[in-house]
């Protein structure tokens, strides 16, 4: 295992700037934990605004060269990053599991998603080169107009802890493909897998300053990065509270933002849905990553004819889950990422008790150690309950029975959020007709939550601004320029 991945009890006090590790100016540290063993993996610097200054200067220096690098060459670098991840697939998946607590099989899926994303944008950047100079439909007089897409400049990228290497790939790959240079801040909770990117970048031979990686927390790095005048655009994934702070900071200097924020996504089960399929999709939507998913389908709206049977099937499936060591094969659910995340979820369980919410989910025995919370289904939760309205970010599912599709759709849309939704129906056409009426950026019909790189990801309403992945994900890092000139005769 390379030294960078052998993270036990190390102090991470350096920042990756200009392709070298330099000491952080910060003098505060935070523990990085293994959430299953509740043990210390490392201590990480909280960072310092002076680190941000240095990284921005490096990104500024690198911008002209990277912007001018032919798209096909940028694509080769992205392909090299994908290969770097692929070579380290096993140790990186293990490191991610140790740091985040997710079952190893899920960490492998993350790695594969990240690799696919870099590979996809390696191709997309070649296509970008081919569309530069597209001639506009013939217009006025003897003028010809052509369209060009320029890199937006230096971008600040900030990510959370729930999908290490994936959230970062969804930003880094299109930003680099577009020709932007980057200052990237991963979550201080899961820095271990993310910092290996520095090693991969060096191995891939990216020019110095193109990708700078700053370890630290919100105060030491996140806020100073958001307000830094040298940053031309911010792309943030995380909570709504911090998203609003990032957006306010970006208002200074009128800098654009992309925001991927929270969710309270519904899963709708119609009268004639297949019960087994509904149970499986409900379970995956609330139990994957222990429910720590922005797109967790945490509100179940089920037709009254199926409700009791589905509730019983979900309770039985939850009771059969194996909660345990995330590294061990056969574990269905690992611990939550840390003690404060567990306290947050337990806080909602206390509210459920105060509100007298009904749960018949059998109590699961929890492992002796680790920040575990057992999954639970609450039945007929009032729409005024905080459990129904707020993002919990854990394996707590709220359910209501409905009389028909119209009622389900109305309740599904009665939310501040609009990130995702699932519809389970007899016929895909029936499900799709419901999907068209839902206020959500992604709707899966009779399908699990696939998010391929050529797709799109992002939310309506308070779930965010903009889209990641696909062409939209690339356009988020580009400015369209129109050049008009007389036609040569």
Is 371 a binder of ligand NAD (CB under 6 A)? no
Is 218 a binder of ligand NAD (CB under 6 A)? yes
Q: What is the DSSP letter of 444?
A: E
Q: How are the residues of the chain apportioned to helix, strand and coil, as percentages rounded to the nearest 5?
A: 40, 20, 35
Q: Smallest distance, Å, CB 368 to ligand NAD?
A: 26
Order across the sheet with 478-486: list the strands.
Answer: 134-135, 143-151, 478-486
What part of residues 49-88 is at the interface with ligand NAD (CB under 6 A)?
A: none
Q: Smallest distance, Å, CB 390 to ligand NAD?
A: 10
Are 337 and 161 spatial neighbours (Cβ–Cβ below 8 Å)?
A: yes
Q: Smallest distance, Å, CB 43 to ligand NAD?
A: 16
Residue 97 φ then ψ, to 5°? -65, -40
Of 75 and 263, which has the nearer Cβ to ligand NAD?
263
Is 46 a binder of ligand NAD (CB under 6 A)? no
The catalytic residue among 117, 180, 287, 294 is 294
Q: Smallest distance, Å, CB 242 to ligand NAD?
A: 3
Which three-class secondary structure state does DSSP give residue 129? helix
Count of CB atoms within 10 A of residue 444's CB? 23
Q: Choose the binding region for ligand NAD from 10-18, 122-130, 181-189, 196-204 (rule: CB under 6 A).
A: 181-189
Alpha helices in 27-165 (DSSP H): 49-68, 71-87, 89-100, 104-131
Is 262 a binder of ligand NAD (CB under 6 A)? yes
Q: What is the DSSP letter of 182?
A: E
The catalytic residue among 94, 188, 194, 260 is 260
Is 242 a binder of ligand NAD (CB under 6 A)? yes
Q: Name which position in 85, 176, 214, 245 contacts ligand NAD (CB under 6 A).
A: 245
Q: Choose the binding region for ligand NAD from 15-23, 98-106, 185-193, 394-402 (rule: CB under 6 A).
A: 185-193
Is 312 a binder of ligand NAD (CB under 6 A)? no
Is 48 a binder of ligand NAD (CB under 6 A)? no
Quick check: is 180 catalytic? no
Q: Choose the binding region for ligand NAD from 38-46, 81-89, 215-223, 399-407 (rule: CB under 6 A).
A: 215-223
Of 159 and 331, which has the nearer Cβ to ligand NAD?
159
Q: Choose the binding region for ligand NAD from 199-207, 240-248, 447-455, 480-488 (rule: CB under 6 A).
A: 240-248
* CA distances (Å), origin 245, targets 28, 152, 156, 215, 428: 23, 22, 14, 19, 41
Q: Name which position in 51, 188, 194, 315 contacts ligand NAD (CB under 6 A).
A: 188
Q: Name which position in 33, 176, 180, 294 contacts ligand NAD (CB under 6 A).
A: 294
Exposure b/e, 211-232, CB count within 10 A at least 16 = b: bbbbbbbbebbbbbbbbbebbb
Is 237 a binder of ligand NAD (CB under 6 A)? yes
Q: Choose the binding region for ligand NAD from 89-97, 113-121, 235-243, 271-279 (rule: CB under 6 A).
A: 235-243
Query: Which among 241, 223, 221, 225 has a CA at the least distance from the CA of 233?
Result: 225
Are 54 and 15 spatial neighbours (Cβ–Cβ below 8 Å)?
A: yes
| Binding track over 440-469 against ligand NAD, x by CB under 6 A | -------------------x---xx-----
Of 332 and 391, which has the nearer Cβ to ligand NAD?
391
Of 249 and 323, which has the nearer Cβ to ligand NAD?
249
Of 11 and 340, which has the nearer Cβ to ligand NAD?
340
The token pair that represents 465 in the structure block:
């601004």
Which residues, including other chains, have CB under 8 Å from residue 289's CB and lie 6 or more apart? Answer: 102, 106, 162, 163
Alpha helices in 135-215 (DSSP H): 166-178, 191-204
Of 65 and 455, which has the nearer Cβ to ligand NAD?
455
Helix H or strand E segment including 376 = strand 376-378
Q: Choose the binding region for ligand NAD from 68-76, 237-245, 323-331, 364-372 (rule: CB under 6 A).
A: 237-245
Quick check: is 260 catalytic? yes
CA separation for the pair 124, 170 (Å, rounded): 13
HSE-CB for 101 with a 13 A CA cutoff: 32
Order across the sheet with 265-269: list the strands.
Answer: 376-378, 396-402, 297-303, 265-269, 420-424, 442-445
Are 376 and 395 spatial neighbours (Cβ–Cβ below 8 Å)?
A: yes
Give the residue carrying structure tokens 């839902």.
438
Of 317 and 336, which has the nearer Cβ to ligand NAD?
336
- How many residues lie near ligand NAD (CB under 6 A)? 31
Is 190 a binder of ligand NAD (CB under 6 A)? no
Are 422 and 449 spatial neighbours (Cβ–Cβ below 8 Å)?
A: yes
Q: Name which position in 260, 332, 405, 439 contacts ligand NAD (CB under 6 A).
A: 260
Is 289 a binder of ligand NAD (CB under 6 A)? no
Residue 165 φ then ψ, to 5°? 75, -25
Residues noted as catalytic:
260, 294
Binding interface with ligand NAD (CB under 6 A): 158-162, 167, 185, 187-188, 217-218, 222-223, 226, 237-239, 242, 245-246, 260-263, 294, 391, 393, 419, 459, 463-464
């Amino acid at each position: 295992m390379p030294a960078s991945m052998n993270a036990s009890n190390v102090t991470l006090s350096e920042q990756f700037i200009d392709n070298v590790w330099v000491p952080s100016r910060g003098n505060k540290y935070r523990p990085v934990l293994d959430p299953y063993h509740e043990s210390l993996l490392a201590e990480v610097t909280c960072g310092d605004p002076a680190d941000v200054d240095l990284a921005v200067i490096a990104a500024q220096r690198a911008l002209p060269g990277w912007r001018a690098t032919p798209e096909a060459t940028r694509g080769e670098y992205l392909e090299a990053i994908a290969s770097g991840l692929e070579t380290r697939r096993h140790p990186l998946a293990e490191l991610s599991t140790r740091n985040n607590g997710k079952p190893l099989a899920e960490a492998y899926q993350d790695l594969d998603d990240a690799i696919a994303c870099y590979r996809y944008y390696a191709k997309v950047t070649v296509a970008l080169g081919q569309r530069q100079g597209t001639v506009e439909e013939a217009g006025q007089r003897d003028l010809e107009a052509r369209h060009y897409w320029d890199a937006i400049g230096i971008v600040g990228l900030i990510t959370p802890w729930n999908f290490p290497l994936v959230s970062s790939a969804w930003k880094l790959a299109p930003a680099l493909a577009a020709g932007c240079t980057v200052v990237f801040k991963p979550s201080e909770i899961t820095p271990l897998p993310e910092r290996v990117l520095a090693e991969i970048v060096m191995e891939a031979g990216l020019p110095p300053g193109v990708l700078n990686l700053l370890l630290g927390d919100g105060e030491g790095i996140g806020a100073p990065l958001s307000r830094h005048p040298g940053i031309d655009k911010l792309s943030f994934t995380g909570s709504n509270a911090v998203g609003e702070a990032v957006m306010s900071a970006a208002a200074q200097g009128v800098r654009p933002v992309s925001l991927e924020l929270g969710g309270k996504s519904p899963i709708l089960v119609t009268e004639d849905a297949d019960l087994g399929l509904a149970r499986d999709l409900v379970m995956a939507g609330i139990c994957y990553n222990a429910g720590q998913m922005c797109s967790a389908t945490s509100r179940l709206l089920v037709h009254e004819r199926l409700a009791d049977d589905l509730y019983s099937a979900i309770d039985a499936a939850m009771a059969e889950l194996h909660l345990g060591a995330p590294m061990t094969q056969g574990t269905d659910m690992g611990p939550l990422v840390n003690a404060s995340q567990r306290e947050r979820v337990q806080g909602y369980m206390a509210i459920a008790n105060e509100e007298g919410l009904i749960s018949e989910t059998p109590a699961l025995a929890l492992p002796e150690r680790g920040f575990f919370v057992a999954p639970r289904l609450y039945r007929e939760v009032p729409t005024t309950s905080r459990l129904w309205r707020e993002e919990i970010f854990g394996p707590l599912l709220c359910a209501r029975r409905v009389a028909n599709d119209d009622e389900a759709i109305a309740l599904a849309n009665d939310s501040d959020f609009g990130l995702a939704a699932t519809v389970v129906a007899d016929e895909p056409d029936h499900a799709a007709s419901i999907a068209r009426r839902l206020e959500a950026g992604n709707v899966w019909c009779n399908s699990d939550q696939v998010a391929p790189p050529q797709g799109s990801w992002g939310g309506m309403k308070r779930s965010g601004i903009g889209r990641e992945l696909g062409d939209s994900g690339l356009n988020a890092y580009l400015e369209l320029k129109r050049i008009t000139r007389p036609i040569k005769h």
